[in-house]
Structures are given as C-alpha cells and as structure tokens.
Amino acid sequence: MRAQKQISITLNESSVAADEDLHGTVVINYPGRFDSLVINSQIENSSDVFSYISLNGKKISHPYARLSIFKADLGGRTTIDFTAATKHVPAEVHSNVKFRVSIIQEHKEVESDIAHVLIVKKI
C-alpha cells in the first residue's frame, strides 16, 4: 500500500492547445508547519508561461509562471482548484510542460509534487 503524499497536484487535461483552459487541483496532507505553497509551471525549451486565471472559483489575473499562496490565505482549506492558460504555440507537434507544487517553510521547500501536460498545436 502506497503512503499518502504530503502534497499532490493533478491536472484534469492530459493536453491543451493555446488559449484553452487547463484545470488543476492541489491537495495538502502535510501535518507540519508551513508558510506558503507555490505552484510553478515550466514549458520545455520556451520562455512562454501559463497564466493563472482562477483560484478556488474566483477569477484572478496572475500572468506569471509562479503562483505563491500564503497559508493564511488558504483559510484552513486543504484542496486548491486552479485554472491556467497559455498563448504558447509549439514549434513541433507538441511541447512538454511540468507543473510543480511545493510547500515552503522558512524559505525552504519541505514537500513537492509534479504533474505533466502537453501543449498541442490546434488543427
């Protein structure tokens, strides 16, 4: 039996195209103290980014690859739903993307998880 992850990230879609929404969920099972969590996206071989457009059902405008959320802003919530989108168009058939969520305590990462998605060309 596998141990439960301290933090996990799941993405609803396995692939998206430019301007399509990507939906994700972060689940926190970390019992220790922490200051914040960070969701970060990286598009392979590109400086393009995913922008975060909603967080827990509220519209936001965060046009950066890295979204930091203070523990105090979570309000005791252990599940975080987010939506992100990109304008990236792959040079080839697709681009690989890595989403990473990290728990931060006193400027140090204490737990993390990774999920992957593909950006595909629109046909």
Distances (CA, A) of 66 to 2, 91, 100: 29, 23, 9
With respect to residue 64, please indicate whether it lies within any of the assigned structural domains.
yes
Domain that holds residue 23: 7-120
Q: Would you say residue 32 lies in a domain? A: yes
Residue 78 zone, left/alpha/beta (φ > 0; ψ -120 to 50; rest): alpha
Is 2 a member of any domain?
A: no
Whole-number pLDDT of residue 122: 81
1 falls within a domain: no
How many domains would you assign to the chain? 1
| Average confidence (pLDDT) over 3-29 | 95
Q: Give the residue-averaged pLDDT of 66-85.
A: 95
CATH of the domain at 23: 2.60.40.2410
Please give the model's pTM, rounded to 2 decimal places. Answer: 0.92
Across 84-111, average pLDDT: 95
